[in-house]
Amino acid sequence: MKRQSIALFGYVILMVLAAAVFPIPAMAAPSILSVSPNLVVNDISNVITIHGMGFEAGTLVKVGSTAVSTTVDAADTLRAIIPAGFAPGAYTVLVTNPDQTTTSLPAGLTVVAPTVLPSPTLIPTLTPTLAPFSRPQIVIDSYSLSVDSVRYGQDFNLNMSLDNAGGSTAYGIQVIFTSSDLLMLKNGGVIVAGTLGVVGKANFSQTMTAAASLYGVTRVSVEMGVSYYDDKGTTYSDKFTLIFPVADIYSGGGSASVATATPTPTGVHRPQLVVMSYQTDADPLQPGVQFTLSMSVQNVGNVAAKGVTMIIGGGSASGSGSGTPQSGVSGGNGEFSNFAPVGSSNIQSLGDLPPGAILTAAQRLVVNVSTNPGAYPMKVTFSYLDDRGNSVNDEQVITLLVYNLPNVDVSFYQPVGMLVAGQSNLLPLQVVSLGKRTVVLGKMTVESSGGTVENGEGLVGSLDPGGYFTLDAMLTPNAPGPLDLTITIEYTDDFNQARTVTQTLTLDVTDMALEPTPDLSAPGGGKGESTAPESIWQKIWRFILGLFGLDSGSPSIATPSIEQPTAIPIIPGGIPGGKG
């Protein structure tokens, strides 16, 4: 018992020493420095920010006796949501940490109704911080034109007034005007409007003019882009579409108009030339090829086009506006780097074209040798006068496809020799690239309807300029005579379309020579010998030869021997596809 008391006393002493050496840190009590905004209107949900220190995860906020939704952003920042319809009044803001330590700010938040103005005694003494959603917002206050309506050839001004409907100042306001129907004059359509606060307006003007004749158009549009930033450097951008009226150029002038019968609506009252179809006499087009471009042109308008001029590559022609054409056609600024006129200039006179009429226009061109494969747009302008003498330029674009197909030759890399019917013969084939660029070819196939081909397929692959591919095929002709050998090479062109190169080689085949069958009934046993008639002196000479023991046999005529055909050595085919 005494020992247990001593042990318990020692344990207590040890715990006291540990507490002295390693003290338990005390949690700092929270505190509130400010609430922003400290005045809210209860017609909408509001977010307040509580600044202080000692906030922990799980901290709760009460406004008066009502707990509100709380978010802990940091140890010194809380956000609380004041729901819409919160009862008006001045409330104490209470913050409670998870360890139940609390802090409060009396009259930290004032809630008012939208129809009740806060009492002067409730106005906070500190400058309120803007709510997170208080941003600048540029809107159009008003705009007008210096003319009643837009007319071709007449400059006009757009007068613009911008307003800031947001809650903070907009800095560095920049306005950009763009339109496909109008041209921006003097400044390229870019205006710097500077700074605009929540009070005041930003006023400026932009000079414009019509880009082309506005036939049959009642209104044109302009896109206005506005960019700016707030005091924190956050950028904003807005876009607006402006609509302008267009003058009817065919409306009668003067104060009095001529009474006419009720007109029947005819749509657009003007000529209009359209390229309905076009084609080339060379297919496909390749670098260095000369070709004729033929176009079918139709007047789809309801007014005759007078003095039509076709300009290849784009351009324009001028008119006096009174029906008398003026000299001067601009066609030298077109695009001719890929296609250039040959034999004549790029300007042709096509005469008059009544409504609905069709004519065929042709132009001789050449593809530049430096043109790479691809699809190339070509601008074509038809310049003419309408029935009122106004100069009209109809611009259109057609597309021409340029290929660069492989230029290869198929032949034998060594003499073939004599081909014999019924025997296997070697075909030492080779494919040579004659073009100026590297080509990629596919499968090569050797076929013949007059014989059997062995080892007649191979993958060619990539060939450099001047490079070659070899294939050693074996051919067994069926019969003597001419024999056609068809070589087909597959590949894919520049527009991923399957194409083939086909070449035919003609060979001569001879018949196999046969040895004659010997006649066993003939003198000499059919061994090719026959007894020839001899004279008296020959007989005497044979007698004398016999006396000396020499050959004294009867002379014979040797049958000419038939030379057997020499067999053509068959060179074993190596690995196909030799290249250089």
- Read off the pLDDT of each residue in 161-173 and give the average, rounded to a whole number: 90
**In this structure, what is the dihedral angle of CA atoms 121, 123, 124, 125, given to the nearest 10 degrees?**
-70
Q: Within 10 Å of residue 151's Cβ, how many Cβ atoms?
A: 17
Instruction: Report yes or no on 220 lying in a domain.
Output: yes
Q: Which of 510, 532, 551 is the last residue of a domain?
A: 510
- Read off the pLDDT of each residue in 400-410 and give the average, rounded to a whole number: 91
Instruction: Report yes or no on 55 lying in a domain.
Output: yes
Least Cα distance to 491 among 428, 408, 372, 370 occurs for 408
Name which residue leads in pLDDT, 447 or 513.
447
Q: CA 312 to CA 329: how far, in whole Å?
A: 12
283 shares its domain with 389: yes
At 160, which helix (H) or strand (E)? strand 156-164
397 shares its domain with 423: no
396 shares its domain with 420: no
Q: Which of 122, 148, 179 is the last residue of a domain?
A: 122
Instruction: Report yes or no on 390 lying in a domain.
Output: yes
Instruction: Report yes or no on 195 lying in a domain.
Output: yes
Instruction: Report yes or no on 523 lying in a domain.
Output: no
499 shares its domain with 394: no
CATH number for the domain spanning 42: value is 2.60.40.10
Three state DSSP letters for 32-96: EEEEECCEEECCCCEEEEEEEECCCCCCEEEECCEEEEEEEEECCEEEEEECCCCCCEEEEEEEE
Q: How does residue 518 score in pLDDT terms, banded at 50, 70 and 90?
A: low
Task: State residue 211's pLDDT score.
Answer: 85
305 shares its domain with 364: yes
Q: How does residue 573 score in pLDDT terms, banded at 50, 70 and 90?
A: very low
> Residue 257 above 50 pLDDT?
no
153 shares its domain with 237: yes
pLDDT tens-digit series, residues 122-164: 444 444 444 545 789 999 999 999 998 998 888 999 999 999 9
Half-sphere exposure of 279 (CA within 13 A, CB side): 5
112 shares its domain with 163: no
Instruction: Report yes or no on 77 lying in a domain.
Output: yes
384 shares its domain with 485: no
Q: Tokens 């250039």 — which residue?
A: 340
148 shares its domain with 117: no
Instruction: Report yes or no on 383 lying in a domain.
Output: yes
> Residue 116 above 80 pLDDT?
no
Name which residue leads in pLDDT, 45 or 253.
45
Name which residue leads in pLDDT, 518 or 31.
31
For the chain, how many structural domains are there in total? 4
Task: State residue 360's pLDDT score.
Answer: 92
393 shares its domain with 416: no
- Read off the pLDDT of each residue in 242-261 and give the average, rounded to a whole number: 58
302 shares its domain with 386: yes
- Read off the pLDDT of each residue in 205-215 and give the average, rounded to a whole number: 87
Q: CA 489 to CA 457: how far, in whole Å?
A: 10
Q: Which of 469, 489, 510 is the last residue of a domain?
A: 510
Name which residue leads in pLDDT, 552 or 48.
48
Supply the range of the domain harboring residue 193. Answer: 138-245
384 shares its domain with 327: yes
pLDDT tens-digit series, residues 347-392: 999 999 999 899 999 999 999 998 999 999 999 999 999 888 888 8
Task: State residue 492's pLDDT score.
Answer: 92
Instruction: Report yes or no on 557 lying in a domain.
Output: no
Task: State residue 187's pLDDT score.
Answer: 84
> Residue 434 above 80 pLDDT?
yes
Which DSSP category does 544 fall into? H
Q: CA 68 to CA 79: how far, in whole Å?
A: 10
Q: Within 10 Å of residue 301's Cβ, how many Cβ atoms?
A: 23
